[in-house]
Amino acid sequence: MDIQSIKNRFGIIGNSPSLNYSLQVAVQVANTDLTVLIMGESGVGKEAFSLIIHSLSNRKHNPFIAVNCGAIPEGTIDSELFGHEKGSFTGAVDSRKGYFETVNGGTIFLDEIGELPLGTQARLLRVLEAGEYIRVGSSKVQKTDVRVIAATNKDLLDLVHNGKFREDLYYRLSTVPIRVPALRDRKEDIHLLFRKFAGDFADKYKAAPIQLDDEAKQLLINYPWPGNIRELKNIAEQISVLSQDKQVSSKDLSRFLQPYNNNRLPVLAHVNGAAGQDFANEREILYKLFFDMKKDVTELKRMFVDVLQNPNLVSQNPAFINEIKEWKAQESLPTPMIVQPTGPPAPMTYGMNDEIHDHVEVEESLNIMDKEKELIIKALKKHRSKRKDAALDLGISERTLYRKLKEYDIEE
């Protein structure tokens, strides 16, 4: 089956070379039983690739199930995947089959594979290598014949290096890797997708389809689309419903797009010269946050030293001392003594803690784990140990927060 037929059958729109290559790999691997790892940012359509592989395989008449590993609590994911015996844990009033038993002979799609706990990863590795598993609370080994297709929006090798993902499982999963390109890397497809979504919503809401002028088209194409196809579809629906004029200008379109510049975390790729990578990754976001914090603190220290070296700055700019007082309140540092001059100031240098220095420089720890732990503790204190609110403030899931509390041995 050729690539265009695949696109027509599964509703895939676009002609970019990177998309065509990914589809070609999916078609070639479909008739085998090889494990496939689909990589790509959130919203690029990774599940569609898993459906293509299953539908073109010899298992197409057998069950297919998609499992979001990040949406299942850590304490129950083993039971969901492998089943459990009656009485194996609190609430297990009956025996239950897991997905690997119910989908026997078919295909299981494990989305967000990077969220699997290490213990579950070991169980999954046994399934992939020997086709064997054990129900929770049982000692009986059972067999299964299931093809596994995994997907992730994270850098699994990075997780391997941090001890959060098994190296042997990574190489077992990535027998055939497929990278689904981000929408910003498929600029020639953006307007095609928008027109398709706009037409669909026009039919749905019984209205005339919206049209973009030339400037609006250029704005649409140059927008970086951090939410990829999912975000584009949402924008098309918003404009279809809310736009009064069906001929949309760039000014009208800009009202629906989120402000997006180099100061926003999702475009760290442009700052660090690594465009196309997934910067939803917590570690990279925290790096940017800490570097920004260090930059701010360094600037405050420079102001502090300037005042100590030249007390005349205070009389010339009273707001200066207020900034230092605010810094002192935030950093819990002793307030420096500011001498109001009565005559020409004598050449002198004031140092912190009554010491005299020619230069004041304080090195601070940039250890990522220390900073991450510190932020988590601050968030818990701020929200009075309410995990849900703390996780929201930190920009991570509640489940990830729970895992990090255990990892850093933080008492709530």
> What pLDDT, on the 0 to 100 scale, is given for residue 38?
97
Quickly list DSSP for 35-73: -EEEE--TTS-HHHHHHHHHHTSTTTTS-EEEEEGGGS-
Mean pLDDT of 146-151: 97
| Region 3-181: CATH code | 3.40.50.300
- Please say whether the structural domain 184-254 has been given the CATH code 2.30.30.230: no
In tens, the pLDDT along 258-270 reads 876 544 434 333 3
Does residue 288 register a pLDDT over 60?
Answer: no
> What pLDDT, on the 0 to 100 scale, is given for residue 358?
42
* Tokens 């009064």 sit on residue: 244
Phi, psi of 96 (to 5 degrees): -145, 135
Give residues with Cβ within 8 angstroms of 377, minimum separation 6.
410
- Alpha helices, DSSP H only, in 166-281? 167-173, 187-204, 214-222, 228-242, 250-254, 268-272
Percentage of the chain lying above the pLDDT 70 cut: 73
Give the separation between CA 241 and CA 22, rounded to whole angstroms. Answer: 34
Phi, psi of 356 (to 5 degrees): -105, 125
Average confidence score pLDDT of the chain = 81
Percentage of the chain lying above the pLDDT 90 cut: 55
Give the separation between CA 266 and CA 250, rounded to whole angstroms. Answer: 23
Domain boundaries, the chain: 3-181, 184-254, 282-354, 368-407
Give the separation between CA 232 and CA 227, rounded to whole angstroms. Answer: 8
Residue of 36, 54, 238 lying closest to 128 (CA atoms): 36
Name the CATH topology of 368-407: Arc Repressor Mutant, subunit A (1.10.10)
Give the separation between CA 296 and CA 302, rounded to whole angstroms. Answer: 10
CATH topology agreement for domains 184-254 and 368-407: no
Q: In this predicted structure, which of 126-130, 153-157, 306-310 has the lowest mean pLDDT?
A: 306-310
Tokens of 327: 């810094």
In tens, the pLDDT along 203-250 reads 999 989 999 999 999 999 999 999 999 999 999 999 999 988 889 999
Is the pTM higher than 0.85? The answer reads: no
Does residue 361 register a pLDDT over 50?
Answer: no
Give the separation between CA 116 and CA 271, rounded to whole angstroms. Answer: 31
Phi, psi of 67 (to 5 degrees): -120, 125
